[in-house]
Amino acid sequence: MDLGLDLSLNIQVLNSFAATGTAVRLTGLAGGLVEIASEWERHIEESEKRLFPRLVARGSEADGPVGFCLAEHAALSARLADLMDALPTVEWLREAEVLVGRLIHHVLLEAHVLRPLLDGKGIAYGLDNSDHRREGREER
């Protein structure tokens, strides 16, 4: 059934929207990687300077999970640095989205694996025992 409609203009518009949407996503994620990298560095510093030493000092039970997390810190940091140095492309966008998912997965994994070790050992997570937070609640 030909209604005499020229759909080529619609296809051009859709292609333009798709290209514009991709460009917006590329630009947004490229700029957002700076913020993600900053948060990731903060996570690493907190884990490697405060959490891991306390866990390892209390016994060998945490050695495996801590070693795994240290290796992931190095691998994910290197991949993040590579992406930050590269020019955004469609493939870059896919890789950046995968990396962001891996970073989130890593932080959640640490919370679910290391936090129970920390709590099970009775170690306070704060710098001192006067004020620390646990699962979003303040405890004093």
pLDDT band at 80 (very low <50, low <70, confident <90, very high): very high
Establish if 48 belongs to a structural domain: yes
Nearest to 85 by CA among 22, 37, 24, 19: 37
For residues 111 and 126, give the distance between their C-alpha atoms in angstroms, rounded to a whole number. 15
Asked whether residue 129 carries a pLDDT value surpassing 90, the answer given is no
Nearest to 115 by CA among 47, 37, 36, 67: 47
- 82 found inside a domain: yes
What is the pLDDT at residue 60? 82
Instruction: Supply the angle between the helices 90-121 and 8-46 in degrees, to the nearest 10.
Output: 30
What mean pLDDT value characterizes the chain?
74
User: So what's the pLDDT on residue 126?
Assistant: 40
Say which range, 66-70, 103-107, 122-126, has the weakest mean pLDDT: 122-126
Residue 122's pLDDT band, with cuts at 50, 70 and 90, is very low
Cβ proximity of 37 and 84 under 8 Å: yes
pLDDT tens by residue, 30-64: 777 888 888 899 899 989 998 899 888 888 888 89
H/E stretch holding 60: none
Range of the domain at 84: 8-133
- Look at the chain and report how many structural domains it folds into: 1
Share of the chain above pLDDT 90, in %: 23
| Residue 3 domain flag | no
Q: Is residue 74 part of a domain?
A: yes
- Exposure on the CB side of residue 62, measured as CA atoms within 13 A: 25
Is the model more confident about 28 or about 108? Answer: 108
Q: Is residue 68 situated within a structural domain?
A: yes
Question: Is 2 inside a domain boundary?
Answer: no
Residue 93 domain-assigned? yes
pTM score: 0.67
Looking up tokens 């994994």 gives: 109
